[in-house]
Amino acid sequence: MPTPALLPPRPIAPSSSWTGWGQWLALVTMTMDHLTRYVLPASWELGWAGASIGRIAFPLFAAMVAWHGLFNTRNPLRYARRILIIGLVAQLPYMMMPRATDMLILNVCFTLASGLAGGVWLRNQWLDYRQGQLSALRLAVTSVIMLTAWYWLGLWVEYGHNGLLLIPLYMLAMHHLSRVGETFSARLIAAAWALPALLIAGRMNASDMAKSFTVATCLAVLLLAAGAAQRVPRVRPGMPRRLWLAWYPGHFALLALWVWASGQLL
Q: Domain coordinates of the chain in residue numbers? A: 15-102+169-261
Q: What is the DSSP letter of 239?
A: P
- Residue 213 has a pLDDT of 95
Please write the tens of the pLDDT for every residue from 175-214.
Answer: 999 988 778 888 899 899 999 999 999 999 888 999 999 9
Q: Which of 43-47, 89-93, 255-259 has the lowest mean pLDDT?
A: 43-47
Mean of all residue pLDDT scores within the chain: 89
Q: What percent of the chain has pLDDT over 90?
A: 66
* pLDDT exceeds cutoff 70 at 10: no
Q: Cα(259)–Cα(99) distance, rounded to whole angstroms? A: 12
Nearest partner of 92 among 257, 242, 261, 241, judged by Cα: 257
Q: Are 216 and 197 in contact (CB under 8 A)?
A: no
Q: Cα(228)–Cα(220) distance, rounded to whole angstroms? A: 9
* Contacts with 58 (C-beta within 8 Å, 6 or more apart), sequence order: 108, 159, 163, 204, 214
The CA distances from residue 263 to 38, 53, 95, 256, in Å, are: 12, 28, 15, 11
